[in-house]
Amino acid sequence: MKLRFWGVRGSFAMSGRDYLRYGGNTTSVELVSNAGDRLLVDLGTGATELAKQLMGSEFGKGKGKLPILLSHTHLDHIQGLPFFTPFFIKGNEIRIMGADPIGGLSLEATLQNQLAPHYSPLNGLENLAAGVSIESFVPGASFELPGFVVATAAVPHGNMWTTAFRITADGKVVTFLSDVEYPSPDEPLPQALALAQDADLVIHDAMHADRDYDLRKGWGHSPARAGVVVAERAHAKKLALFHHSPDATDEMIDEVVARTAAQTGVPLFAAAEGAYLDV
């Protein structure tokens, strides 16, 4: 299984010379099985860069198939939806899968709102040329997609819940734990540890530097050390620090990596936009 980070930033996109190495686009991660099956996690602004590449493949000919997992519907995770070019090519088949948001609206109604005329000239999902299905699941569910097996769990994100994923393909496991804040960084929840157990790669929220976390408790995000605790207790093979703060420059992220790596024997790195990884 191969993985590419298309967007690694949280909250909102950034640009400028201080954000060149790690990138400024918001959350989007692509996984590709050895057989060529593709899966996308989240539709942040990074997905628009993936879309450009996909247009040179079967997606540009209206023959592409893509499942998309949404961790939740905060704007930084769906902002790429109206600009994801394969949606505008007739014949493409795209499944958007996620949990219904808290508050009564369905996942489909929430995404429909994003394309309402107040926010988008698209005026609704029905105006996308591709065959687009919106599929809700209850966190805790497991299901199969072409080339992948996916297990899910609800994890706390401030005053709401997001969905975490354990994705298996080709005998390898990637765990996605972004936008999560445990009651204590040193006591991750059982469902997070279960998803990360023996994973080849854990992608974990690290929006806050450890030394800043006391000022940001309750914001719904983790300090870097929370990912270390998960990786160590779950016996994961590698850890990617993810969902970088929009305030974090390249040099600040370098410092977080150095400080965090000194605390653990688990190999770790900060996710960088455009980086490829053989899992």
The predicted-structure confidence for 51-97, as pLDDT tens digits, reads as follows 999 999 999 999 999 999 999 999 999 999 999 999 999 999 999 99
Q: What is the predicted pLDDT for the residue at 103? A: 77
Q: CA-CA distance, 27 to 8, in Å (whole number)?
A: 5
Write out the chain's pLDDT in tens, 279 residues.
999 999 999 999 999 999 999 999 999 999 999 999 999 999 999 999 999 999 999 999 999 999 999 999 999 999 999 999 999 999 999 999 999 988 778 999 999 999 999 999 999 999 999 999 999 999 999 999 999 999 999 999 999 999 999 999 999 999 999 999 999 999 999 999 999 999 999 999 999 999 999 889 989 999 999 999 999 999 999 999 999 999 999 999 999 999 999 999 999 999 999 999 999
pLDDT score of 71: 98
Specify the amino acid at residue 196. A
pLDDT at residue number 104: 77
Residues 216-238 as b/e (b if ≥16 CB within 10 A, e otherwise) read beeebbbbbbbbbbbbeebebbb
Nearest to 177 by CA among 236, 243, 234: 243
Place of tokens 């088949």: 93
- 239-242 vs 268-270, strand pairing mode: parallel
8-state DSSP, 99? P
Domains of the chain: 2-278 (3.60.15.10)
- The Cα 59–Cα 133 span in angstroms is 16
Work out whether the CA dihedral 139, 160, 158, 113 comes out positive or negative.
positive
pLDDT of residue 215: 87
Q: Which two tokens stand for residue 109?
A: 């109604």
Q: What is the pLDDT of residue 224?
A: 96
Write down the residue that tokens 């105006």 correspond to.
127
Residue 161's pLDDT is 96
Task: Give the separation between CA 77 and CA 220, rounded to whole angstroms.
Answer: 15
SS3 content of the chain, % helix, strand, coil (to 5): 25, 30, 45
